[in-house]
Amino acid sequence: MANYLDTFFAAMADPTRRAVIERLTEGRAPVGALHSSHDIALPTFLRHLKVLEASGLVRSEKKGRVRIVHLEAAPIAAAEDWLSRQRRLWEGRLDRMAELAQSLEEFRDEN
């Protein structure tokens, strides 16, 4: 899991790459159309796509002269799982501490 999360989170740490993900949630798209909404050189944009493909987040296939890119939801779900597990563990701990503080207060009031 370690390596997978490394490449996933690194892929998500860039605004251009996140914008591509947001665009792809609306449906698959050709590389040219994806690039046209970004004010960067094509080779730079292709490097961003490569990082996304390496992370497993997007797949692409060639149809004639056009390369079509689409999203893969599974890696997103796996990263979400990791994050939500950490948050729930931490929040659970805070809840138990709050309960403990409450019990302590009640004990003090009664004694």
User: Binding to a copy of itself by residue 24, rule CB under 8 A?
Assistant: yes
Q: Under rule CB under 8 A, how many of the chain's residues touch a copy of itself?
A: 34
Q: Of these, 39, 62, 77, 109, which contacts a copy of itself (CB under 8 A)?
A: 77
Which helix (H) or strand (E) is 62 found in, with range? strand 58-63
69 pairs with which residues across the strands? Answer: 29, 60
Which two tokens mark 36?
A: 């046209």
Binders of a copy of itself among 48-67, rule CB under 8 A? none
Please state, in angstroms and rounded to a whole number, the distance separating the CA atoms of residues 89 and 106. Answer: 26
Which helix (H) or strand (E) is 79 found in, with range? helix 73-110
Site for a copy of itself, rule CB under 8 A = 2, 5-10, 12-15, 18, 21-22, 24-27, 71, 73, 76-77, 79-80, 82-84, 86-87, 89-91, 93-94
